[in-house]
Amino acid sequence: MTIAAKIIKTEILSDNWYTLRKITYEFLQKDGTVQTQTREAYDRGNGATILLYNKEQKTVILTRQFRLPSFVNGNESGMLIETCAGLLDKDNAEDCIKRETEEETGYKISDVRKIFEAYMSPGSVTEILYFFVAEYAAFMKVNEGGGIEHEQEDIEVLELPFDKAVQMIDTGEIKDGKTIMLLQYAKLNDLLS
């Protein structure tokens, strides 16, 4: 495949929490003409997410936490129900999701299965997210979870019947994209059967 873009100039607009860049580039149009465009791209690193499920109990583990961007954009409480997730930092995706699972949910898992990867907001964010699933059982619970205090995390761990979690998409109680994708994957692939 021919590369249709060439970066001309990059400016850092913000490097406070993550990096926001203004990028000027040339883009080869379908008709063969070259157009100069400017866009902003937010680089927060790549991440991983996981759906923990228990076939025997027909349950899933989700989390609930405050998400400022959702609050700013009309979510009255700012709270979102989500699958466990985190940034890779310097880990590979599998090590990251195992670490995040223990920190956020309190479950120490060893067998995870990567099911796909996806760009979640490619119009403005560089992040690619690695999606995993794993079975959990009560004996895997090694602590209460809830996140890391020095990272200012205050995460509630939820164990829900799978059917109820899927229904919460329809009721609007679950609005997080990665969570919807993983719950739908589980349903389409009969993970809990």
The CATH number of residue 93's host domain is: 3.90.79.10
Q: How far is CA 137 from the centre of its chain?
A: 23
| Size of the chain in residues | 193
Write down the pLDDT at residue 116. 98
Kindly state the percentage of the chain with pLDDT values over 70.
96
The answer to whether residues 119 and 138 belong to one domain is yes
2 has pLDDT over 90:
no
Locate tokens 């929490």: which residue? 17
Decide the pairing of beta strands 128-135 and 47-54. parallel
Question: Average of pLDDT values for 60-72?
Answer: 95
182 has pLDDT over 80:
yes
Q: List, in sequence order, every residue forming a beta bridge with 82; answer none if it has no partner.
A: 63
The answer to whether residues 64 and 140 belong to one domain is yes
Nearest to 145 by CA among 137, 135, 134, 155: 155
The answer to whether residues 109 and 57 belong to one domain is yes
**What is the rounded CA–CA span in Å between residue 189 and residue 64?**
25
Write down the pLDDT at residue 80. 97
pTM for the whole thing?
0.92
The whole-chain average pLDDT of the chain stands at 93
Question: Average of pLDDT values for 162-168?
Answer: 98
Q: Which domain holds residue 62?
A: 47-188
Contact of 98 with 119, CB cutoff 8 Å: no
Tokens of 150: 């020095």
